[in-house]
Amino acid sequence: MPAKAVIAAFAVWTAWAQESKAVAFLVREVPAWKRDNGCYSCHNNGDGARALLIASKHGYEVPAEALRDTLDWLRQPEEWDKNRGNPASSDKLLARIQFTAALAESGDVRRAAPLLIPLQSESGAWTVDAETDAGSPCTYGPVLATYFAREAVKPSSSADRATAWLRAVKPRSLVDVSALLLAFPEDKQRLNELLRAQASDGGWGPQPSTRAEVFDTALAMTALVKAGGPRVSIGKGRKFLLSQQEADGGWPETTRPSGSQSFAQRISTTAWATIALILTNRERD
């Protein structure tokens, strides 16, 4: 085998091994929160579960036991508001959106979607974490939250109102730009905005010319692959994410402001990074 082919094959195997390590991390962590804390969380049982469902669809080893308890609970959306948690750190609107997004990956969102419609604002948005310029891995922000909610309630007049709001909203961060590209993958203006904002190390930050962060990079890559963005840019993003992975398979948390500590953000950041790597690993598929 030619040397270039050997190098390429080794790179593919290395990436697959790192992705598998990330999946294994989430297999451990997703069921641990309920077991250790007596409640379900947006980070473990929302973002983390969604990542495992996507991983399972793409052939990664996800034991049924890792998701059984979470899925049993997600399939009872009428019980979500009764979830035991810390009221000071719980946002029921955000939780419904994240749990619904996870449930949608299981193919069973019919009972959950109607519960989102009464929470839509008159503007057409689902207003989550509107005070900050850039949403974080487990707070999303209104643009990303509205994208996920809109996907869940399609087709409906509620989804149409969300679409109108998303088309009119002015992005305040690259998180918003990525979310808008997810919502409208044909939008070349948003595509070009993301491509211009890619840093020299291959990642993206919350704003153009800011330091690259794992979450912002993962979200941008997810949007680029949906929009059919250039493989070169996606490949650079993959290298950035793989270079940031930690020994246990997870990623350091992306926080606002940067550099803070948050277990919730670490789990959600890892979920987003895992999803991005799986969706952009075309060599595996």
Strand-pair partners of 204: 213
Residue 180 located in a structural domain:
yes
Residue 206 lies in a domain: yes
The reply to whether 150 falls in a domain is: yes
d(CA 182, CA 190): 10
Say how far apart CA 90 and CA 140 lie, in whole Å. 14
Residue 248, domain member (yes or no)? yes
| 244: number of Cβ within 10 Å | 18
Residue 264 lies in a domain: yes
237 found inside a domain: yes
Say what the alpha-carbon torsion angle 279, 211, 27, 36 is, to the nearest 10 degrees. -150
Q: What's the pTM?
A: 0.92
Number of residues assigned to the chain:
285
pLDDT in tens, the chain (285 residues): 564 443 344 455 567 789 999 999 999 999 999 999 999 999 999 999 999 999 999 999 999 999 999 999 999 999 898 886 544 345 889 999 999 999 999 988 888 999 999 999 999 999 988 778 888 999 999 999 999 999 999 999 999 999 999 999 999 999 999 999 999 999 999 999 999 999 999 999 999 989 999 999 999 999 999 999 999 999 999 999 999 999 999 999 999 999 999 999 999 999 999 999 999 996 544
Q: How far apart are CA 237 and CA 252, in angstroms?
A: 16
Domain containing 240 equals 3-280
pLDDT score, position 90: 54
Q: How many Å apart are CA 8 and CA 33, to the nearest integer?
A: 38
231 within a domain of the structure (yes/no): yes
Q: What share of the chain is helix, strand, coil (3-state, %, to 5)?
A: 65, 0, 35
Query: What is the model's pLDDT at position 285?
Result: 45
Task: Give the C-alpha separation, 180 to 143, whole Å.
Answer: 7
Q: Is residue 285 part of a domain?
A: no
pLDDT value of position 83 = 82
CATH code assigned at 232: 1.50.10.20
What's the confidence (pLDDT) of residue 14? 66
Say what the pLDDT of residue 2 is. 60
HSE of 240, CA atoms in CB hemisphere, 13 A: 27
In angstroms, the CA 204 to CA 237 distance is 8
Report the number of distinct structural domains present in the chain. Answer: 1
Write down the pLDDT at residue 141: 94
